[in-house]
Structure 1
Amino acid sequence: MGDRMQPEPMDEETSGGEPSGPVPLAVIAREWGRIGVIGFGGPPAHITLLRELCVRRRRWLSADDFEDGIAATNLLPGPASTQLAIFTAWRLRGVPGALVGGVCFIVPGLLLILALAALFLAGDPPRWVSGAAAGAGAAVAAVAVHAAWGLAPDSRRRASGRPARLRWYGYLLAGGLATVLLGPWLVVVLIAAGLLEVLITRIRRAARIRDGHRRGAAGAPGRGGRDWRLWSLLAAVPVATAAAGLSALTWVAYKVGALSYGGGFVIIPLMHNDAVDRYGWMTDAEFLNAVALGQVTPGPVVQTVAVVGFAAGGAAGGLLAALVAFGPSFLLVILGGRSFDRLRSLPAVQAFFHGAGPAVIGAIGGSAVSLALSLEHAWQYGVLAAAVGWLLALRRGVVSALLGAAALGVLAALLGLPPG
């Protein structure tokens, strides 16, 4: 297939498959870079654009292969749509394709968000800029509620049976309370919820075996040994970075890239306490601006971490934060891509995410409380109420909600209201 445009897709999308020859790296750079430029709207938009490219237009992958890629990357910690972009490029050209595709997908939005960070975090920005930032920031708590609300139904459906549903609600509540009350210890609660579900699953499986039932999908002991080396590798990353003498920013960015489960929006509770309270890199208002910028710029939402890095250490800090946050995604795909099918089949992995998943949703919802309490001006609560109605009652999009909130902030600034 090479770099030639392919014919329009037939009705049967599953007829696609591996390309007949190596896809040129220049083609991967161009196509993945294009998605990085026009990919407004977060993971749903990225998935749609990647599917249109790889399945429908170029027919590099079958629809089934693409859906398997979505399922595999959703099992991994970190930004799922970024991992899908890296994974699809890896399927076409191996490690070079993964590196070129991932970088070209990430860099356009990264450069834009760093430029906007310089504008919004300037010591004395124009009044209309401050108003736009305060308006968009006021809507972020509504976006958090919207994200949690959208994730909850599918997650709850995976909890079959009354005991599983009760545990699901327990994990959900634990994640929400941890976000509000525990701050930097949230990660411990998320991991504990996953491990608790693994323990319960193993106890129930052992009881079934004792009762004479077959193991079924559990397989032979030790089947997933090679797959778990990936998790050992991730655990070694913070040790290596600490040995290199890197700053606290490295750990904050690492948590975003390697310990966040459930999509890009979980970065809010993971970063808020560190960036605002623990290290004082940003004010509450500036953090809200950072989240809003991550939502309205193209590319991965996780690029919000670059704004935090910019606040901590200028442009170099922003680039360092992005490098650390996205590094685990490249490692997971490049080193573990061939093991994804086995990884997905491991009962322990599935159980972990059945516990960590609802805890993450609770954490995202709980973050709305602290975000709303950090608003400084009365008019911002009016913008927040309007955003809640726009997202939850009218069911409109996140980008339009944030842009509309920014416009209201500009209006408030022009009317002489305090812009933040």
Structure 2
Amino acid sequence: MELGHQAFGGGQDCTFETILRRHELTDPVLWKLAEAVHEADLEDDRYDAPDAPGLDAILRGLSMTPSTTRRSSPSRAPCSTGSTSTTAVPCCSASLPPDHMTTATLPPEPAVTPPDERSRVSADDISAPDATASPPSDAAPDTRAGADVVPFRSALRAWFLISLQTFGGPAGQIAVMQRALVDEHRWISQGRFLHALSYCMLLPGPEAHQLAIYVGWLLNGRRGGLAAGVLFVLPGVASLLALSALYVALADTTVVAALFTGLAAAVVAIVAQAVVRVAGRALRNRVLVGVAVASFVSLAVFGVPFPIVLAAAALIGWYGKRNPELARPPAHKEATDGPEPLIRDDTLHTARPSTARTIRSLGLGVIVWLAPVAAVAALTGIGSVYTSQGLFFSGTALITFGGAYAVLAFVAQQAVQTFGWVTSADMVRGLALAETTPGPLIIVVQFVAFLGAYANPGTLSPWVAGVLASLLVSWVTFVPSFLFIFLGAPYIERLRHNTGLTAALSGITAAVVGVIANLGLFFAISTLFSRTISLDDGPLALQLPDLSSLRPVPAVLVAIASILLFVLRWPVLRVLGSCAVLGLGAGLLLPGLT
């Protein structure tokens, strides 16, 4: 071995670094190893030769638990230039920052206990790290089915706090989970988090809700997934239920009508922003642009059913899987360095998929999902509004690809034109209310159900009917997300590099751009014009605005909301609040124009 110290860049390099530089070795693992040796050297004076502690640290490294509390070392002196050791791996640069060990790298600063304290290191110090700290680097966390990676109470507390912050649609909800679970608690790595998200996007339903269930399942098994999923939607369900009741009771008053005029104008701009954002991420080439345009024309001009549009887009993507632009998954920004997470990139859940388990889970899940609908049908009749809503929204739960905006065009069309549960103005106002509550935006279907049942209560009280319908529709909308994750999670890793599925998802995502644009057109016409003209001639199925019925106040408010969102880049909640105040002022001052 070549020994000796040399100066590079004004500082002292020890033997190991000298060798790496001289032979132009750039492997990051070697440099991490050198960093680990040096850090141990600086804080351990067990041996006379300064190189020997590094070897000692390496030999003991895999059996040491990284300390969760590092000792500060304000002054870091360079290695001695006169000492050598023929049996030691020498130290290296003294100024590199510390890092935690992963399965691919070695720790730059293992927790080295001083000589007089080594005998007092207990088993608890090694086998029982804090729940929010990094696990021992020589063993992955226990990911057996049913095992808790973190204490269940700690997970419940974290999910509850997350549920109170889930405003701003799926982007905001995913950002909240990213900050809490990846950056703060360090319970799951960035790569593992994005891996879960990418496959949740393949499923129908709200992807942020499914991501919460998935991560909860990884952390605490099925009970963790159940707790995470329930807590994620509970505040939104409770909030929108209360707002639906207030809307029914007070919607005819001038004050409330003026408030909703401002909120509806904000929603038009918010949907336009969603179109721009999704298009920027999804339309990577001319094929995908063509899919988006075709989906918009199919829906807006020809009235093609929403499921057919999505199925056609998926087929186009699937058959175009040889195109690398279609088969390439979206790029994600890497997470910043930090303490090692409990669930690392290379940690996989050990639950093994089996046909018997899948059949049992599927059977039980379908029974749990549809049992309330069957009970309502038995008690109120097949033709009741409750049964109709339960069946309809059970179906929409299976086609909600691409987020809430994508399916809301279909829901709005059916709820307004086919079933008559709400008016187009009610639909826009309901979306505005859903934007102001935490949880997935698809919760707006609860508002639709409340109004529809309140207007057609049957033998029940209107208030009881509204609450019953809201809870039933919430149940059939969100339960499938649990079923999809618990059924599919053990199989997900097998699909990780499936280019066909990735290409199909690219096609669906492109179609979603056209779907959201169609939704925006629907909301804009409903908000800006008092009357519309139906054009249903042959293959055409259009709703055109009556230009003479333009409403000036909503038009001005839409322009203001667009400036706030696109130019000033205000957050959604601030835009909604500002437009509500402006709408209230206009309604009180100019009641005939709103």
Using structure 2 for the length normalisation, give the TM-score. Answer: 0.59
Aligned position for 2:544: none
What SS does the aligned partner of 1:83 have? helix
The residue aligned with 1:103 is 230
Residue 37 of structure 1 aligns with an amino acid whose one-letter code is L
C-alpha change, 1:14 and 1:178, in structure 2 (3 Å) is: farther
Describe the SS at the equivalent of 2:473. helix
Question: Partners of 1:166 and 1:202 in 2: how far apart?
Answer: 15
Residues 183 and 132 from structure 1, CA distance in 2 versus in 1: closer, same or farther, beyond 3 angstroms?
Answer: farther
Range that drifts further, 171-180 or 240-249: 240-249
Task: Report Cα offsets for 1:149-207 as digits up to 9, x if no partner.
Answer: 001122123xxxxxxx3321221012212332355712211111112322343799xxx
Q: Pick closer, same or farther for the CA change 1:7–1:57 going to 2, 3 Å.
A: farther
Q: 2:579 aligns with which of 405, 408, 413?
A: 405
The answer to whether the 8 Å contact 2:217/2:225 transfers is yes
Q: Does the residue aligned with 2:203 lie in a helix, a strand or coil?
A: coil
Q: What code does the residue aligned with 2:157 have?
A: R
Structure 1 counterpart of 2:402, from 262, 270, 278: 262
Q: Which residue number in structure 2 is paired with residue 217 of structure 1?
A: none
- Please give the alpha-carbon distance, in whole angstroms, between the structure 1 residues aligned to 2:181 and 2:490: 19
C-alpha separation in 2, matches of 1:14 and 1:184: 55
Superposed, 1:280-359 pairs within 5 Å as: 280-313=420-453, 314-359=466-511
What is the DSSP-based 3-state SS (H/G/I as helix, E as strand, rest coil) of the residue aligned with 2:249?
coil
Q: Which amino acid aligns with 2:438?
A: P
Equivalences for residues 189-204 of structure 1 within 5 A: 189-201=309-321
SS in 1 for 2:438: coil
Gap runs ≥5 in structure 2 = 1-67, 71-96, 103-133, 325-352, 454-465, 531-550
| Structure 2 residue identity aligned to 1:281 | W
Give the Cα–Cα distance (whole angstroms) in 1 for the partners of residues 178 and 424 of structure 2. Answer: 37
1:418/1:7 Cα in 2 relative to 1: closer, same or farther (>3 Å)? farther
**3-state secondary structure, aligned to 1:188:** helix
User: Matched residues in 2 for 1:183 and 1:92: separation?
Assistant: 44
**Contact 1:13/1:62, CA 8 A, preserved across alignment:** no
CA gap 1:392/1:368 in 2 versus in 1, 3 angstroms? same
> In the aligned structure 1, how far is the partner of 2:167 from the partner of 2:215?
19
The corresponding residue for 1:210 is: none
What is aligned with 2:267? Answer: 140
Partner of 1:167: 287
Distance 1:255 1:153, change over 3 A: farther
Post-superposition offset of 1:93: 1.0
Residue of structure 1 equivalent to 2:152 = 25
With 92-101 and 188-197 compared, the bigger mean Cα shift is at 188-197
Aligned amino acid, residue 366 of structure 1: N
Give the Cα separation in 2 of the matches to 1:182 and 1:73: 31
| 1:342-387 residue CA offsets vs partner (Å, 9 max, x unmatched) | 2332233112112111111111012111111112333111111111
Q: Residue 248 of structure 1: CA displacement?
A: 2.9
Q: What is aligned with 2:560?
A: 386
Instruction: Give, in angstroms, the shift of residue 14 of structure 1.
Output: 9.1
Once the two structures are TM-superposed, the CA of residue 237 in structure 1 deviates from its matched residue by 6.4
Q: CA deviation at 1:262?
A: 1.9
Matches within 5 A, 1:76-95: 76-95=203-222
Name the counterpart of 1:372. 524
The residue number in structure 2 matching 1:363 is: 515
Using the alignment, how far apart are the partners of 1:300 and 1:418 within structure 2? 35
1:123 deviates by 6.2
Q: Does 1:176 align with 2:296?
A: yes
- Residue in structure 1 matched with residue 187 of structure 2 by the alignment: 60
Distance change in 2, residues 1:11/1:144 (3 Å): farther
Given the alignment, which residue of 170, 174, 185 partners 2:305?
185
Once the two structures are overlaid, the 10-residue window that deviates more, 102-111 or 238-247, is 238-247
| Bigger Rg, structure 1 or 2 | 2
CA, structure 1 residues 13+197, in 2 after alignment: closer, same or farther (shift >3 Å)? Answer: farther
- C-alpha distance in structure 2 between counterparts of 1:318 and 1:178, whole Å: 31
Amino acid of the structure 1 residue aligned with 2:401? Y
1, 24, 36: which one aligns with 2:163:
36
SS of 2:471's equivalent? helix
- Alpha-carbon separation, structure 1, partners of 2:159 and 2:241: 20
Pair 13,118 (structure 1): closer, same or farther in 2 beyond 3 Å: farther
Q: In structure 2, do the counterparts of structure 1 residues 14 and 36 end up closer, same or farther at CA, with 3 Å as the change threshold?
A: farther
Distance change >3 Å, CA 65–CA 304, structure 1 → 2: same
Task: Check 1:225–1:102 CA distance in 2 against 1; reply closer, same or farther (3 A cut).
Answer: closer
Range 369-378 or range 243-252, more displaced:
243-252
Segments of structure 1 that go 5 or more residues without pairing to the other structure are 1-5, 158-164, 205-223
Q: Which moved more, 1:238-247 or 1:41-50?
A: 238-247
User: How much has 1:144 moved relative to structure 2?
Assistant: 1.3
Q: 1:191 to 1:388 in 2, by over 3 A?
A: same
- Conservation of the 8 A alpha-carbon contact between 1:197 and 1:355: yes
Which of residues 173, 181, 184 in structure 2 aligns to 1:46?
173
Residues 124/105 of structure 1: CA separation in 2 closer, same or farther (3 Å cut): closer
The percentage of aligned residue pairs carrying the same residue is 30
Report if aligned partners of 1:120, 1:133 keep a CA contact under 8 Å in 2: no
- Asked if the contact 1:184/1:274 (under 8 Å) is kept, the reply is no
The answer (yes or no) to whether the contact 2:267–2:431 under 8 Å persists in 1 is: yes
- Contact kept? 1:139, 1:384, Cα under 8 Å: yes
State the SS of the aligned residue for 1:38. Answer: coil
Aligned residue number for residue 209 of structure 1:
none
Corresponding position of 1:274: 414
Stretch moving more, 11-20 or 401-410: 11-20
Q: Is the Cα contact below 8 Å between 1:156 and 1:168 reproduced in 2?
A: yes
Judge conservation of contact 1:119–1:125 (CA < 8 Å) in 2: no
Distance 1:125 1:66 in 2: 46
If asked which structure has higher relative contact order (CA below 8 Å, sep 6+), I would say: 1
Over the residues paired in the alignment, what is the CA RMSD in angstroms?
A: 3.2
TM-score between both structures, scaled by the size of structure 1: 0.82
Deviation of 1:52 (Å): 2.5
